[in-house]
Amino acid sequence: APLGVVGFVFEGRPNVFADATGVLRSGNTVVFRIGSDALETAREIMACALLPALKSSGLPDGAVQLIDSAERSSGYALFSHQGLCLAVARGSGQAVSQLGAVARQSGIPVSLHGTGGAWILVADSASPERVTACVRHSLDRKVCNTVNVICLPRSPVLIAAVLRGITEASASRSTRAIIHCASSADELEIKRSLQASDEVELHVHQGDDHLAEEWEWDQRPEVSIRFTEALEESCELFNSYSPRFVVAAISEEEKDFEIVYRLCEAPFVGDGFTRWVDGQYALARPELGLSNWQHGRLFARGGILSGDGVFSVRYVMHQTDSSQHR
């Protein structure tokens, strides 16, 4: 059964504006509010694609509505409207949290594209070549599933492999990567494995609080490195500091993957690059949003929300024998 009216607030990415009309497939209607940077594009998509498509399909024009306003208050008004059956928000972490709070205070169910930032946990048995490739391909651009933290043992071979992946990713952009670490001792360990002292920009922190920060970068890849004594310690750090979103276990032994799968609270667990977490890429279905487990596991659904997954379930009984009873 359809939910009813689904409200979406996006900061940008007008392609998602078109993808989200997939909720029509399960009998819902949709109202959009999109950020000022993409509003003009959204208007053109409505006029040139969506409205003609609705007409040719025999659907009413009002099945898809765009709130033609760049004001943030319009998003808050939408998410507090009692006629809304589901509120879906995508964008930066704080803005999404605020919108989610507005919807929850109004008693409206929410699906939030939560804080991003993936983690790679490297085991002792990991192949250096595999480590380099996974790191490089997890840093090709900054989105929610880009690697944010790499945990690994104090192995010169594996440290060099991680740094190779980072510097290859930055070299492809003709930039210098930024690496964060937890102590001066870790800084020295990293410097010993660099081919050149100015190959990366190192930032030293005191303690592990920086592991909880999602690095927002545009051209220069930015990532935290944390040395650990065992894979179990890496998993404990993941559960303590990550948004509980994407984790990758890089190892040549199946038991290491099983440790990560069992101990890490994450809806997305892999053994390679982190950028596979995408509805279109992984499931060949338009993605409306990704959810983490930062506030607990999701009930009865995965972390990828797609248009044809926006529905409720109703149970219907037809009785033919009127004498049947309990």
pLDDT category, 232, cuts 50, 70, 90? very high
Tens-place pLDDT, residues 170-219: 999 999 999 999 999 999 999 999 988 778 999 999 999 999 999 999 99
Q: What value does the mean pLDDT take over residues 70-94?
A: 87
User: What's the angle, vertex CA 48, arms to CA 42 and CA 49, rounded to 5?
Assistant: 80
List the one residue out of 277, 265, 279 whose CA is nearest residue 309.
279
107: left (phi over 0), alpha (psi -120 to 50) or beta: left
Let me know whether 138 and 200 are in one domain.
yes
Residue 314 within a domain:
no
- Say how many Å lie between the first and final Cα of the chain, rounded: 28
Let me know whether 148 and 208 are in one domain.
yes
Residue 128 has pLDDT above 70, yes or no: yes
Residue 122 within a domain:
yes
Split into its structural domains, the chain has a count of: 2
Do residues 99 and 79 lie in contact, with contact meaning Cβ atoms separated by under 8 Å?
Answer: yes
Q: Residue 6 and residue 110: Cα distance in Å, rounded?
A: 10
Q: State which amino acid sits at residue 77.
A: A
Residue 265 has pLDDT above 80, yes or no: yes
Q: State which amino acid sits at residue 222.
A: E
Q: What value does the mean pLDDT take over residues 100-119?
A: 87
Residue 319 within a domain:
no
Let me know whether 301 and 260 are in one domain.
no
Distance set, CA 232 to CA 95, 154, 214, 238 (Å): 33, 15, 22, 10
Q: How far is CA 145 from the centre of its chain?
A: 5
Let me know whether 75 and 167 are in one domain.
no
Q: Which positions ≥6 away from 256 have C-beta within 8 Å? A: 123, 125, 231, 249
Q: What is the CATH number of the domain that holds 86?
A: 3.40.605.10
Let me know whether 196 and 104 are in one domain.
no
Residue 210 within a domain:
yes
Looking at residue 172, its pLDDT comes to: 95
Specify which residues 7 forms β-bridges with.
31, 87
Q: What is the CATH number of the domain that holds 207?
A: 3.40.309.10
Q: Residue 140 and residue 225: Cα distance in Å, rounded?
A: 17
Looking at residue 80, its pLDDT comes to: 94
Mean pLDDT score of the chain? 91
Q: Residue 149 and residue 212: Cα distance in Å, rounded?
A: 9
DSSP 11: S
Q: Residue 272 and residue 249: Cα distance in Å, rounded?
A: 7
Residue 325 within a domain:
no
Looking at residue 16, its pLDDT comes to: 73
Let me know whether 163 and 228 are in one domain.
yes
Q: Residue 147 and residue 142: Cα distance in Å, rounded?
A: 9
Let me know whether 138 and 242 are in one domain.
yes
Residue 148 within a domain:
yes
Computed on alpha carbons and rounded to an integer, the radius of gyration of the chain in Å comes to 23
**Phi and psi, residue 123, nearest 5°:** -95, 165
Tokens of 221: 């890849």
Q: What value does the mean pLDDT take over residues 133-149?
A: 96
Residue 285 within a domain:
no
Residue 324 within a domain:
no
Let me know whether 103 and 129 are in one domain.
no
Domain that includes residue 107, residue range:
5-113+296-309
Looking at residue 237, its pLDDT comes to: 98
Let me know whether 22 and 140 are in one domain.
no
pLDDT category, 116, cuts 50, 70, 90? confident
